[in-house]
Amino acid sequence: MTFTRIDGRTPDQLRQVRITRNWLDHAEGSVLVEFGKTRVLVAASVTTGVPRWRTGSGLGWVTAEYEMLPRATHTRSDRESRRGKVGGRTHEISRLIGRSLRAVIDYRALGENTIVLDCDVLQADGGTRTAAITGAYVALVDAVEHLRGLGALKGEPLKDSVAAVSVGFDKAGTALLDLCYEEDSAAGTDLNVVMTGSGRFIEVQGTAEGAPFSRDELGVLLDLGTAGCAELTAKQLEALR
């Protein structure tokens, strides 16, 4: 008997992934990344110099900001700018994306330059943070190339590549790769895996609001996530060719 997911995928299958480079004209790097219906616009902005607390260190800086358009979701949410404050979830994901990319950066080779990755979710259907990380890496590569073109680098700032995917168990205990919104809502356990192209972990975030999970279950999810990240790494390479 074959198991089919809500959108017809097998449990270990990614959604259709599209990575469109240079979607914007002004940004030094830009990507429209799509994981199925999830659609994130990433813009990489390069500026000379680093934040004040880092000035004179000879080291570069990479940071990220994530935000959702108000109608990215099924029902409209208020804009964070109108509410006058940034929500906890937005902060948390912005920080995750920044940390993930910084893990493959050689700050010294980057020189005293800053790259900001703006990840704006145009449409959300689950996995916005993992799509953002996966796309942001590609935009980051283009921004680094821009700096290389200017002769502003002190070496090769990219030590590895980065990709990310979500994994989780459905109600029946089947492990699923790259959860869409409906699957994500139903999942008891949800794990986000951020990995390098060389197969090491940058970030592992597993959460059980429903049923706590065992060490063996964690192992199953890590296996599935590792395979998913490897596939995404291949797609990034293809986009960058």
Closest CA to 35 of 169, 138, 179: 179
Give dist(CA 73, CA 162) in Å, integer.
26
Q: How far apart (Å, rounded) are the C-alpha atoms in residues 178 and 118?
A: 22
Residues of each annotated binding site for phosphate: 89, 127-129
Q: Shortest gap between Cβ of 190 and its own copies (angstroms)? A: 11
Task: Tell me, by CB under 8 A, how many residues bind its own copies.
Answer: 69
Among 8, 82, 151, 155, binds its own copies (CB under 8 A): 82
Instruction: Return the half-sphere exposure (C-beta side, CA atoms, 13 A cut-off) of residue 222.
Output: 15
Query: What tokens appear for 108 in the block?
Result: 């010294």
Look at residue 25 and give its three-state secondary structure.
Answer: coil
**Cβ 50 to its own copies shortest distance, Å:** 15
Hey, what are 34's tokens? 């799509």
Interaction of residue 120 with its own copies, rule CB under 8 A:
yes
The reply to whether 156 sits near its own copies by the rule CB under 8 A is: no
SS3 for 89?
helix
Q: Which two tokens stand for residue 98?
A: 């920044």
Per CB under 8 A, the segment of 11-19, 141-149, 192-200, 228-236 that binds its own copies is 192-200
- Does position 145 interact with its own copies (CB under 8 A)? The reply is no
Q: Binding its own copies by CB under 8 A: which of 109, 122, 227, 240?
A: 122
> Which of 12-20, 49-57, 168-176, 195-203 is the region at the interface with its own copies (rule: CB under 8 A)?
195-203
Give the range of 56-64, 119-127, 144-152, 228-236 binding its own copies by CB under 8 A: 119-127
45 lines the binding site for its own copies (CB under 8 A): yes
Handedness of CA 193, 199, 202, 204 (dihedral sign): positive
The DSSP annotation for 33-73 comes to EEETTEEEEEEEEEEES--GGGTTSS--EEEEEEEE-TTSS
Q: Which of 91, 108, 154, 235 binds its own copies (CB under 8 A)?
A: 91
Contact between 54 and its own copies (CB under 8 A)?
A: no
Residue in 37, 61, 36, 35 with CA at minimum distance from that of residue 48 = 61
Q: Given candidates 27, 132, 140, 143, which one binds its own copies under the rule CB under 8 A? A: 27
Site residues for its own copies per CB under 8 A? 24-27, 30, 37, 41, 43, 45, 47, 65, 67, 69-76, 79-82, 84-92, 94-95, 99, 102-104, 116, 118, 120, 122-123, 125, 160, 191, 195-196, 198-210, 212-215, 218, 222, 226
